[in-house]
Structure formats: structure tokens, C-alpha cells
Amino acid sequence: MKYIVLLGDGMADHPLDACDGKTAIEAAHTPNMDRIAAMGCCGLFYPIPEGMPPGSDVGNLSVFGYDPRVSFSGRAAIEAVNQGIHLADDEVAFRCNLVTLANGVMQDFTSGHITNEEAAAIIETCNETLANEFPITFHAGVSYRHTGVMKESDRCTVADLVATVCEPPHNITDQEYEQYLPAGPAEALLREMMIASERVLASHPVNEARRAAGKPAATALWPWGQGRALTLTSYQEMFGVTGAVISAVDLVKGIGCCAGLEPLNVPGATGWIDTNYEGKVAAALNALNRHDFVYLHVEAPDEASHQGDVALKIQAIEEFDTRIVAPFLLYLETRPETRLLVAPDHFTLISTKTHAGGAAPFAVCGHGIAPDNTACYGENEASRSGIRVQDGFRLMHHFIREHPLALQGAIE
Ligand SMILES: [Zn+2]
């Protein structure tokens, strides 16, 4: 049996005035996703457990079939996997942004999208200086996004580090940051490190050059998103299948790696509406020759939603439908022992330009899945079907392992 998951990041939405009370999915022309719903069933699931942040990390963990309440401790640990960093039991990974702070205000959480080369030189300096004063080692990443691995010490335990509240810097642009500094059991250590980073970066040659060129300097390290090693039961062990993951986003590939799936790099996969759709499909079809499972993630609907652009969101969903979903319906026709699942990882609302939790629509069809009474894919139709998977992570278990008829009874 082949299992194919097609994930449209953030495509779920609330009814929009601009779409005459329809959601973006409902307003979009999506004959292929509609066909999945018509051939199989459409229902609701909760990818974000109550009380958890509605991020792509939590949402994708759920869709992959892992209970985020058990497995999730912070996105930095997932990103670390993708950077090839192995976290020991006494270590916690922090995302360390290079940020521009000025006059008590978070001016730029990207340091003016500092280049990889500039950032690498700064991170090297941090390892020569801060790493001697604090129990931390830095790993240079892309542009302003870096990882700091902090070891348990006589000052802070792993539990202290994980329990400390660290604000994502992109949430406080142009705001005074004092009240958003790390708060909790490890606050003293983390704040000291941030102050020390300001001292080290103040006269760094890269910053001198950036100031001379009129660009924002990287004035400090801002730690956040911390987590201990993400340990997931492998797909092989959990479902008895091997598989591959295709995404432009490190976070999704990182989860896939932890799940023992093969991450596939597709040239031109951008995480944007101009992504290499055909390349992603080709990589997935190729992977199905050697694997039973593929997870194909498309970021564009989420990005369009963050811009608050309804027309662009509809276009992103239509591209997803025709250029990603359609080829797999053809695959299903030639290979009946296949199941297809389409779903989002969370809502991204045009109205607020941010993520939200809630019951999101999915559709499944294929081998052994009897049709229900739904005719198209969308939020309203999914709620009409009566299928509601309360613990979102169970959807994948129904999809892969359970007797397919269990999907019909998956009203939990
Ligand atoms: Zn997402």
C-alpha cells in the first residue's frame, strides 16, 4: 500500500466577507481536492491541541501522527536536527537570532537580513568569547537564524532552561523589549549572555562595515524557541512503513528526519508561490518507487495568509490543487492500492495575518476508504460530514494503520 500526504500549510481559514462568506479553500477552484472528498471522505481534525501555540511545528507533528503534548518542547530542537546537531540529554537548543536593538527597542529581528557570510563571522567570534563565559556553543545557520546549544550547569538544569519563557523576537518588532526579556528559572543566565553578546558585537568588524554602509548592525543575540532533543518513534516502528518528506521548510524536514523519513532536497523549492511544484511531485513519485509513504508540504498558502492577501491565498490553493494534488489522483488511478490525504497544519487567518487553532478540514480517498456524503473539500463541508478527529494526531493512525472503515467511525 502507498500512503500520500499532501499538506497545504495554513490553507484553512474563517469565512471571508471578500469571498461572500466563503473561506479561501471554498472560494478557490479546487476540482482535484473536491474529487478526493467526493471519492472518499472529508472531515474535521484538531492539529493544535487545546492550549498549545498554533505553530507549524505543533501542527505538522500532529499531522505526522505524533501527539505534540508528548513530543514537543521547542522548535529550536527540531531545527537543530536539520543542521546536523545532535543534542545530548543534558543539552537544550535555543534559536539565537542576530537582532538589532536600539534605545531599548527591538528594531529588527533579522539584523537587516544579514548575509550568511557576515553572520558566520559573528557567530565564530561568539564561540571564541561567549562560549568561554557561558555553557553554550553556537552553530551558524542561515542569515539571522542561528542555534545555541546550552548545557546543563550548576546554574541551570535542563528543566530550568526549558521552563524559561523566551519571546519570539518577530512578535515584538518596534516595541520596547525590556518586558520581553527571558523570564523564569534561567532568566539571570540568559539575560547575562544577551548583555555579554551586546558587548562582544558592539565593535565587531562586520558591524562596523554594516554601519558604514548604512545597514542595521547585529547588536545582540536573542535566544528563544528552546527545546530538548526531539525523540520520535520512527515510522518504521510505529506504522511498519518507510517514507520520504518533501518540503522547503527546515522545520518540516526536521520532523521528518526525527521520524526516520528520508528528507528529499528539491532544487527550486522556495517555500513561496513560485516553488518548483513539478520538481516536488517528481521527487515524491520517485520516492514511491522505494518507499510506502510520502509527505509533501507546500508553504505558499501560509505565506499568502501572513500577507493578508486573499487573492494570493486563493491562487496558492489553486496551484496546490492543480500542480500538486492532480498528479497524485492520476497515480491513484494507475495504482489502486494507494491512499491520499490532503490537510492543512493549522489555520492561518487572512483577517489577522497569523496562525490559529481550531478544527481544520481534511479529505481522504483511496484503497478501502468508502465514500461518505461529502461532495467537495472545505471547512463547511467537512463540518457537515460529522467526522471529527478530536486528537488531531490520531488522523494519521486512522489513515495508515486502522481498518479504513475506522475513518468513518472516527468521531471521537
Ligand atoms: Zn504551518
- Within 82-189, strands assigned E span 91-102, 105-108, 136-142, 145-151
Q: Is the pLDDT of residue 310 over 60?
A: yes
Residues sharing a CB contact under 8 Å with residue 88, sequence separation 6 or more, in sequence order: 151, 229
3-class DSSP state of 244: strand
CA triple 195-196-199, angle to 5 deg: 95
Average pLDDT, the chain: 93
Residues composing the chain: 412
Q: 373, 88 in Cβ contact below 8 A?
A: no
* DSSP letter assigned to residue 179: G
Residue 123's closest CA among 83, 158, 182? 83
pLDDT in tens, 281-307: 999 999 999 999 999 999 999 989 988
pLDDT in tens, 183-240: 999 999 999 999 999 999 999 999 999 999 999 999 999 999 999 998 899 999 999 9
User: Residue 401: its pLDDT value, please?
Assistant: 78
Q: Tell how far the Cα of 114 is from the centroid of ligand 1, in angstroms.
A: 25
Q: Tell how far the Cα of 249 is from the centroid of ligand 1, in angstroms.
A: 10
How far apart are the C-alpha atoms of 184 and 204, rounded to whole Å? 31
pTM above 0.75, yes or no: yes
Which amino acid, 100? T
Q: Tell how far the Cα of 211 is from the centroid of ligand 1, in angstroms.
A: 35
Q: Is the pLDDT of residue 66 over 70?
A: yes
How far apart are the C-alpha atoms of 204 and 58, rounded to whole Å? 37
User: Residue 412: its pLDDT value, please?
Assistant: 46
Q: Tell how far the Cα of 298 is from the centroid of ligand 1, in angstroms.
A: 9
pLDDT in tens, 101-158: 999 999 999 999 899 999 999 999 999 999 999 999 999 988 899 999 999 999 999 9
Q: Tell how far the Cα of 57 is from the centroid of ligand 1, in angstroms.
A: 7
Q: Select the CATH number that applies to the domain covering 2-72+231-408 from these four: 3.40.720.10, 3.40.50.2300, 3.40.1280.10, 1.20.1250.20.
A: 3.40.720.10
Question: Structural domain boundaries of the chain?
Answer: 2-72+231-408, 80-227
Confidence of residue 411 (pLDDT cuts 50, 70, 90): very low
Distances (CA, A) of 23 to 81, 127, 387: 35, 49, 19
Q: Tell how far the Cα of 346 is from the centroid of ligand 1, in angstroms.
A: 6
Proportion of the chain above pLDDT 70, given as a percent: 97
Q: Tell how far the Cα of 56 is from the centroid of ligand 1, in angstroms.
A: 4
Strand pairing class (243-246; 293-298): parallel
Q: Tell how far the Cα of 9 is from the centroid of ligand 1, in angstroms.
A: 5
